[in-house]
Structure 1
Amino acid sequence: MSIGERIKAKRKQSKLTQTELGKLVNVSSQVISNWERGYSDPNHDDVARLAVELDCSTEYLHGISGDKLSSKDVLVAGQEINLTTEELQLFNELKKHPVMFHDLASDPEKKVKELLKMYKMKKMFLEDDEELGDGFGDLED
């Protein structure tokens, strides 16, 4: 299956018209039509935007992987990591702090899961602190 055929299949699965998809990825409906019919191919940036809007991986669109990655699968350091919906939300929040993702080349799944656990623990402790107040209770003068 060509990249154009994959784009068309994913667009139809997403119930989008060529015009709607074009607006989402900032190209005309004619460009989408040309891609789908194999008259031209999307560039790297276009493929990245298509993958986001069509909820699939760039590898799927390029035909590297046979199956689309679900929204719970994340590619980190070239490896696919399966995350629960909650973990995916946390991971997306953590991505806002790139310093936390140094040295993911070795065993990225284990390291991402550890980061997620640390984030959950931090959040839990902060929630507990808010319930306890400042820890001094009521003091009389």
Structure 2
Amino acid sequence: MTEPFGQKLKTLRKRKNMSQKEFAKFFGLAESTISMYERDERRPDFDLLNKFADYFEVSTDYLLGRTDSSTITQQEKDEDAFQAFINDPELGVWYKELPQSGEEELRKLRTIWEMINGQQK
């Protein structure tokens, strides 16, 4: 059975050799908030959950108990980076000018993105 969120958070925090106080300060939270998270008396909002996942280099699915695997695959990292790229408001004008014909244009955009990131072989 999957550990509850609070236990996972506590285990990950301890792996980083951080006290609740240090961890709370790092994220700009009260120590009591971390304590309540670890006792499963409160839940973080989506933004904070994502920050925790990024900090510990685990998936939000792992933190939420949807999977027992704490590792993020390279494919998941690449997909997350690509989604951040296409949703970047500063780039919106550039890529949104592509015709709305769908998958082919998205494939072309992904190829460009891979070249920008040095992933093209």
TM-score normalized with structure 2 length? 0.62
Per-residue CA distance 1:70-91 (angstroms, 9 max, x = gap): 4844273xxxx7xxxxxx7xx6
| 1:24/1:53 contact within 8 Å kept | no
Partner of 1:32: 34
1:1-141 matches, within 5 Å, as: 1-70=3-72, 72=74, 73-74=76-77, 76=79, 98-99=91-92, 100=95, 114-119=111-116
| Larger-Rg structure | 1
Q: C-alpha distance in 1, partners of 2:117/2:44?
A: 39
Give the CA deviation at 1:18.
Answer: 1.0
Structure 1 residue 114, shift from structure 2 partner: 2.3
How big is the shift at 1:120?
5.9
Matched residues in 2 for 1:57 and 1:112: separation? 25
Which segments of 5 or more consecutive residues in structure 1 lack a partner in the other structure? 82-87, 122-141
The gaps in structure 2 that reach 5 residues or longer are: none
Deviation at 1:28, TM superposition (A): 1.1
State how far apart, in whole Å, the 1-side matches of 2:64 and 2:12 are. 13
Query: Relative to structure 2, which stretch is displaced further, 94-103 or 60-69?
Result: 94-103
TM norm structure 1: 0.55
1:52 is displaced (CA, Å) by 2.0
Change (3 A) 1:50 1:117: closer
Task: State the aligned residue count.
Answer: 106
Shift of 1:115: 3.2
Shift of 1:113: 6.2
